Amino acid sequence: MTRLLVLLTVFFNMLICLSLAQDASIFDKAKEMYPQIDEYIRKEAICEEKEREFSPIYLGVYGKVFPIEEEDLLSLFQKRAAKLTEKREEFERIAKESVKRHAKVSLNLPHAKKHKTFYVDPTFVLPDDITDEKGNVLFQKGTKINPLDYVTLSKTYVLIDERSDEQVRFAKGLLKKGPKRTTVILTDGDVFRWFEKTKVWAFKAPEELIERLCIEATPSVVSQEGKLIKVEEVPVEKDN
């Protein structure tokens, strides 16, 4: 269509000039110069006719039309994502509360009043035979075994009451001297609160450990000396 318009423009401009000149011989020469104009006009007419044949025809509305009631898929995904976010936040809240609840320990050990050192023999007697997978007896019932014959305590363990500022300072002093060789165990207090004070994790003292090492007061410093376990009670409170 664009080419046709260009040719028509040229043709009409030429006709205007010819009409002004009123020279029939020049008009004939122009037709000889532009014989393709008639062909273009014929082809364009055919194309326009075909376009009219294939143009969409409005046929009207048949049957009752109902609005779409299904929820938009994007909106559905957004709602489900919001619910998942709420569930995740609720799960995180419950998990944090559970961890904080289990981070507390309360064995109610008294604070040391005087310096005291004693030794614990970790030797124990086997209540039953120890066998391998084939049933061969490795250690007989009644055998006395000292774990320190096989392992060595590479660290010093300090048991404290985290609620006492003096005991916290005492434990921090030991950590400063040998952070990789000292492990803090809480008999009372909160593990998270201790971490906020020191940025070092501590452990909760199990009752079995307290009974096995005969811990009677805090702070107590536990270390190995030969084949025995050394327990040293250190008074640090202001009233001592």
Number of domains composing the chain: 2
Contact 34, 10 (CB under 8 A): yes
The rounded distance, in Å, linking the Cα atoms of 237 and 233 is 12
Task: Note whether 43 and 157 are same-domain residues.
Answer: no
110 and 224 co-located in one domain: yes
Q: Is the pTM of this model over 0.85?
A: no
Provide the pLDDT for residue 130.
87
Residue 191 covered by a domain: yes
Distances (CA, A) of 91 to 16, 94, 96, 98, 103: 87, 5, 9, 10, 18
Let me know if residue 141 belongs to a domain. no
pLDDT, one tens digit per residue, over 64-107 is 777 777 777 788 888 888 888 888 888 888 877 777 777 888 89
Please state, in angstroms and as integers, the Cα–Cα distance from residue 189 to each residue in 74, 165, 197, 202, 204, following that order.
Answer: 50, 11, 12, 11, 9
Q: Are residues 117 and 229 in the same domain?
A: yes
pLDDT over 90 percentage in the chain: 35
Average pLDDT over residues 109-126: 93
Q: What is the mean pLDDT of residues 199-221?
A: 92
